[in-house]
Copies of this chain bind each other. A is one copy, B any other.
């Protein structure tokens, strides 16, 4: 028999919606029956598992055994601590894994670089795209949305397990890449059609902020400006593609050439 969730635990879980609290505690929230199960099955320990008793009953030891502590919750409890409109049956408090990104991996394969991407849904979707196309690392400028934001984790649909997201001083990283002869592909309006651009099997795909695109500072380090051709005459309301759509199309085109 497991204990019921205490008020203190509920409060702690809710506080993890704040970036500051996440950073101080190195903890973050994973929701969703399937994602939590896969996270545990992959051998990741969690600090706390808050689940409906029915859910726990159906899970093997390989899942429940990975939790340092297990508490039971009612649906109403879950609703209170969840950041979802319709919560699932379980919520996990997981421990961040900080991995240093030295830039050595930039020479092998593709890396996505994001400048000031703000929308949690966009970052989550881009992580999912990266996982799909076998891209192992995303480097983010330090002002990008936090990967451990519950909405980002949610939007990745579990793909956060397969992609390293690193917050780095992006300009110096791009400068280093350039000095090492690693191509930097920047997605900008007015670049060369991606369909006609030469694409290499390694390099950095740089995508900019949702409304501002890539800053002039970072554009200087772009060695190849690429564009996804759109309508011949500009149409009102569709001046550009959403950043995560652009990421999908660009990654697909790189994958096609391999």
Interface residues of A (CB under 8 A from B): 34-35, 38, 41-42, 121, 125, 128-129, 131-134, 156-159, 161-162, 195, 228-232, 235-238, 241-242, 244-245, 248-249, 252-253, 255-256
Contacts and interface: CB of A to CB of B under 8 A. Distances in A.
A55 to B, nearest CB: 18
Contact of A195 (B232, B249, B256): B256
A248 B38 CA distance: 28
Given A245-B248, A248-B249, A249-B248, A238 B131 contact: yes
Nearest to A129: B245
Contacts of A121: 121
Contacts of A228: 132, 252
B38 A236 contact: yes
A231 B129 contact: no
Given A35-B237, A132-B228, A244-B245, 14 more contacts: A38-B236, A125-B242, A132-B230, A132-B238, A132-B241, A156-B237, A157-B238, A159-B238, A162-B238, A195-B255, A228-B252, A248-B248, A248-B249, A253-B256
Given A125-B242, A231-B131, A252-B252, A38 B157 contact: no
Contacts of A230: 132-133
A128 B231 contact: no
